[in-house]
Each structure stands twice: as C-alpha cells, then as structure tokens.
Structure 1
C-alpha cells in the first residue's frame, strides 16, 4: 500500500545572513547530511568523482561567491556551522550543477501566463532524483531591506523556486551545455538574487552587473507586469519575451541561445515543450481559466499531470531501465499568482494527479 507523501518542513528564517544560515543549518541538519550522501552518489555515477573531489572543485566557486555575493557566502557559512559541516560542503551543494557541467538528468517544465486582468501566473513541475524529495523544505526568508521570500528549496541550498512579496517569482530549467566558468555565479545563487529583487528588470540588472552565471541554465522570472525567459550562459544571455498568448514556456533545451555548445541529451525536451504549449493554449482558449480560483487546479489537472511520451512526460516518471541514481521523476508542482491583491502559490509535493502527492500546501502558509 502506497502512503501519501508527507509535507516538507516549513522554516521561518529571519535576521542577518549568518542568523538565517544558522537557523537553516540547525533545522535541516539531518536533511543536509542526507543531501551530501545523495549528491556524493550522483557525482560518482555522473562524473566519476567523489565528494572530496567535488569539494575541491567547489573551492573555486566559494571564492567567487565570497567576492560577488558576500552576504550569501556569510549565509552559507552559517548553514555549515548550524549543520556541523564545512562551508565547502554547503558550497558543493549550491554549485552542484556547475561541478557536474549539467550531467545530472534534470527534466523540468515551466510556464508563465498573463491573465486577462494583467496579472501573471508562474508555474512548473520540478523533476529530479527521487532521493532528493525527502530533503525538500518550504522556506520563508525575511531580510532587512529586501523582499520576503517564499521558496520551495533543497536543504543546504540558498536559492530555488518561489516568489517574494514584491511579486517576483522564479522557475528553473536545467540545460546541459559547455563551457562552465567558475569565476561567475552558480545558478542557485543567481536564483536567490532574483528572489531578492523587486522586479524582473532589477533581477536582470543584478545578474548582468555581477558578470552573469557560470553554467548554462534557464530561469523563468516574472513579476506582476512582465515575464522573461532568461536563457543564461557563461558566454552570453538571450531573453525570451511573452508570445501572442501572453506566455513563456520552457523545458530543458535552449530555444534561442546558440552561444554555447549544447549536445543532444533529453530527447523528450522538445516534445514536452510542444505538449505544454498545446495543452496550456487549449485551456486558455476554452475559457476555463477565467475563474481565478480554478487556475491552479486546472493547470495541475490539465497540463502538469500529463503523461504523454512517458517517462519523459510533463509529469515525469521514473525510467526503470536506467540505474536508480540516474532516474528522475516529478518531485513537486508549484503554481504561483503574482498578483499584489492576491499573492500566493499552491504546491503539491510528488507527481500531480498520481494520488500519492501531498495535499495542496498554500504559500505563504502562516
């Protein structure tokens, strides 16, 4: 008999960067230790390196983080001290995408949509290794002089998927491409900087002013006025605007950024992209999304639960022909409303529509 997935822990992190980090590390100590073990296995399988070798690579990024974002370096030190590990362990978690050159098999589907009343909906399925699911946490981060962040995060990692009380939200799609440059920001740090911004324009200015990111990734960033697909790479960025449906959709391959070498990897990514466009446009044309209270439910049921081209479907399924550590599945779905009058998100952990996911968790939850 299958049991429903339990809700992840909900953390309120406040104060100075060090205080935020200490609280994070103390509350998620066991999950951080488990994350290190999970990623050690992933590194060994994907890159033929162990955790100690990954930490050596992480030192280059630690220096970059300390130089470009000292407040997040201080927060990472706090996480390490709170969890009783070395700061390089925490930096390794935060730059795991860069250490592996994108060799982890992430597979995510994201979309933004401008509603008829002008506000933005931002949503995605996040697909990754099932072992990571037990280390997901909901985080509310309160910092002086910055927007309050509501984030679905991983233990030990400072930035992920979510939104803030200035109505700025982020989604992430992994891209596998070369090169990787350690003098630029890790993508999870870039996500946190976006979530510390008060607008899409400020997020873009911040990333550009700091020299960009060290690995190729796609961040879908929205505020209440605009959505922009940031096809980011160490060699330059391309920004995707909303289409005729008021949408930006993305999966795990670059659409317009041809500045880096991107070998073929997830054959299902183009198929998922066409599928998410077809399904989302269909529900928009049907008019069913005109009733605001139904938007999250409809998107989960009609778009993000879709199993077409399984296992590489929008709702990702484990491929049991692959080794256990390299399988991926949908770990959570989030639908955000970036509306100043009705700001919030609905999250289900697990595969939407499977019957095994958590009940809907509202963010903010207090």
Structure 2
C-alpha cells in the first residue's frame, strides 16, 4: 500500500467535513487533519499549484500575520509589506527561483507578491522592529545511529507557534531538479522543517540577535537545505549564503551525519553530537556567535529557553532514552510549564509565552518515515506516514 497516497485520501475525506479556515482558526476541540499540498514543475508552476490548493489557508494566514505584526512588532501591515519590498532586490539577484515561486503562490492565491514575500520574511522583518518583545518557541532533538538503539538516525521537533496557525498548517510535497521533498510549513511559505528523497532532514529553531541584514530568510534557507543532496551540501547552503537574520538548523542524513548550524548575518557556528545526540532551544549555544543574543537585547524575555535546553539534553542522556519511544516521551515532557518542551496555550498576560505546540514531528531518516501529532503530543498518539520515496 502507498501509505502517503492513502494518507492523502484520508485527509481529503476529513476536510470535506471541516468548516472554513476562518472559522476553524479559533475553534477548540479535536485537531484538524493536515492538508497535503502536492506540487511539481517550474518554480512558478510549483508556486501556482501551492497558491491554488492552499488559497483559503493563505488568506487566513495573512489575516493572522496582519494582527501579529501590529501587536508583536508594532508594524502596520503596510509597513511590513514595505519592509518585504526591501528584500526583493536581493531575491531577484541571489535567489530568483525562490522569488519566482513566491510569484506563483501569489498568483494562485490571488494576492500581491509582496504579501507572500512578507510571509516568507516574517521572522526577519518582525525581529528587526520588535522593540522589547520576544517569543520563546521550538525545541529540536537529534539522535544518530550510534545512540538510537535501532541504528536509525532521528530528528525531532516540537513546533511551538501561534495557536491560530494550527488549523492552517500544511505538508508541502514538491519535486525539484534531482529529487523530492516534504516540509511541514505554513501556507504561502517555501519550507520549514522536513526531509527529502536524498535522506537529508531538517529541524529548526528561531534565534534572535541584534544583527539584521539582507540575505536568505529563515524559510528560503530551509528550502535550500531541503533541496540539498548531502548533509555537507545542506550545511553549505546556510554557511555559504548571505543571511538576513538569525536561526538554528539541525540537519541530519540517512548516511549517519548529524550537525547543528547556528547562524546570523555575520557568522555561523557548527555544533556536533555529544554521545550521539543533539538538542537545541532558542538561544545561541556555540562560542562567540559574533552578535548579541536576543536575551541580551530584549527586555523582559523569559529564560525558559535555557530550561528547555537543559531538560532536553538531560532526558536524551539519562531519561527515557534516545530511541523512537524515548523521543516521543521527551517531546511530551512538561518540566518548566508553561514554557515546557510540550507547550500548552496560556491565557493572555505573559507576553513572552504565546501559542502552543502546533506540530510534534519525529523524522526517521533511515526508514523514510514521519511520526507526527497535530497539537500537543501529550494529547494524542503519533501517526506514522511512510514517505513517497520509501
């Protein structure tokens, strides 16, 4: 049986019973199925198919980010679009395929291209203007073949973000020159975390610093990583590019490699496994990043990222173990709540604690399989999907 195709059919049937995204966005109760968006062809053709298939979700995401830019970054949507226009010359000169795909997404969704650029550069635009506000977000884990117990390489992530975006989340499945990849991402965005047919996998963390510039965004760099043929090529896709902001990419390969890349506009640092495992939260871990971490810049930011980092490392080393079941247990951990690895939505009032765990994903790179939950992983079993090239 083609598990991927079966999963698509099952979700299509479920979506027929779902209410429009504008109604789903704030609706409590059972989590929705993740829409699979399948695209191929030229960059513009891929974008056009993406925009057409996720048109409703893209329009709702723009409404969410319009509000988010105003409350978090104190930017009007018009100002955010102006900031996005400033990034277009770099895209035109250095990453024209990404811009062409964004144009396709915009055409398919019926929105201006600048709004799709704003979505794909939302991290860089917001953090350049955020003042004293900040978010604490994802936790990622990596286990190589020497530590997993079954000889597999695993990458895992709890994607913690705005609660309104949970019902809009998509799984983008695209073909590119030389391969195929899937990424759990937001509608209208080129990529976030995922894996490709060459066995290169990616999990991601937001980092922030006092440095901002022109270059690839968090989401365009993720696309480059997921179109790489090897872990070395994927690493070079980040270190060899100009970078508009800061981030952390945990990269693994079916051939056994595991590497963590902390980057910012001026410097990259590479971190390697200790005893076969890696963990990362939302602060710079490597020595001398060349910038000031956002915790040294932004007032009132919770130190919860340090707690999650320590907790994840301790559990990988001595807790439930580094195999598949152990990683599921780590991703369900509530130590340090409400800013725990498994994060639940909180009432307003704590400005640095926003959103919840929208997706929990474990990538079995060796077996070409995904194990995931929508919403907090403590509330449901992980679903396994064999990837289309398995």
| TM-score, normalised relative to structure 2 | 0.85
Q: Could you tell me which residue of structure 2 aligns to residue 216 of structure 1?
A: 246
Q: CA deviation at 1:3?
A: 3.0
Q: Secondary structure at the match of 1:316?
A: coil
Q: Distance in 1 between matches of 2:306 and 2:240?
A: 32
Please give the per-residue CA displacement for 1:130-175, whole angstroms capped at 9, x wherever unaligned.
01112100111012x2321011110000011100011101111111
Q: Could you tell me how far apart the structure 2 residues matched to 1:363 and 1:138 are?
A: 14
Distance 1:248 1:147 in 2: 27
CA distance in 1, matches of 2:92, 2:384: 35
Residues 146, 51 of structure 1: CA spacing in aligned structure 2 closer, same or farther, 3 A cutoff? farther
Pick aligned residue for 1:93 from 119, 126, 136: 119
Q: Conserved in 1, the CA contact under 8 Å of 2:31 and 2:167?
A: no
> Cα deviation per residue 1:50-89 (whole Å; 9 max; x = unaligned)?
1111000001212212211111111000000000001100
Pairwise CA distance, 1:2: 6.0
Superposition map of 1:131-210 within 5 A: 131-143=164-176, 145-181=177-213, 183-210=214-241
Please state whether the residue corresponding to 2:30 is helix, strand or coil.
coil
Counterparts in 2 of 1:339-354, with a 5 A limit? 339=366, 342-354=367-379
- Structure 1 residues not aligned, in runs of 5+: 290-294
**Conservation of the 8 A alpha-carbon contact between 2:206 and 2:282:** yes
Deviation, structure 1 residue 323: 6.9
Q: CA RMSD in A?
A: 2.1
Q: Is the 8 A contact 2:268 2:289 kept in 1?
A: no
The answer to whether the 8 A contact 1:129-1:326 is kept is: no
User: Is residue 39 of structure 2 the alignment partner of residue 13 of structure 1?
Assistant: yes
Structure 2 match to 1:337: 364
| 1:283-322 equivalence runs, <5 A | 283=319, 289=323, 295=324, 297-300=325-328, 302-322=329-349
C-alpha displacement of 1:106: 4.4
Structure 1 runs of 4+ aligned residues shifted over 3 Å read: 116-119, 323-326
**SS of aligned partner of 1:85:** coil
User: Take 1:159 and 1:2, find their aligned partners in 2: how far apart are those partners?
Assistant: 27
* Structure 1 residue 365 displacement after superposition: 6.4
Question: Unpaired segments of 5 or more residues in structure 2?
Answer: 1-26, 296-300
Q: What aligned pairs does 1:216-255 form with structure 2 within 5 A after superposition?
A: 216-224=246-254, 225-243=256-274, 245-255=275-285
Q: Which residue of 2 aligns with 1:31?
A: 57
- Distance, in Å, in 1 between the alignment partners of 2:349 and 2:377 is 23
The answer to whether the 8 Å contact 1:110/1:172 transfers is yes
Aligned counterparts of 2:121 and 2:350: Cα–Cα separation in 1: 23
| Distance across 2 between alignment mates of 1:85 and 1:321 | 31
Match of 1:319, SS state, is coil
Q: What secondary structure sits across from 1:100 in the alignment? A: helix
Is the Cα contact below 8 Å between 2:72 and 2:126 reproduced in 1? yes
Which of 321-330 and 15-24 deviates more? 321-330
Q: CA deviation at 1:321?
A: 4.0
What is the aligned residue count?
A: 349
CA contact (8 A) 1:194 1:203 kept: yes
Alpha-carbon contact 1:68-1:210 (below 8 Å) kept: no
Cα deviation, residue 125, structure 1: 0.3
Residue 61 of structure 1 contacts residue 186 of structure 1 at CA under 8 Å; is this kept in 2?
no
**CA contact under 8 A between 1:11 and 1:139: conserved in structure 2?**
yes
Q: CA deviation at 1:325?
A: 10
1:68-83 aligned at under 5 Å gives the runs 68-83=94-109
Cross-structure match for 1:268:
304
Q: Bigger shift: 198-207 or 172-181?
A: 198-207
CA contact (8 A) 2:136 2:352 kept: no
User: TM-score, normalization: structure 1?
Assistant: 0.90
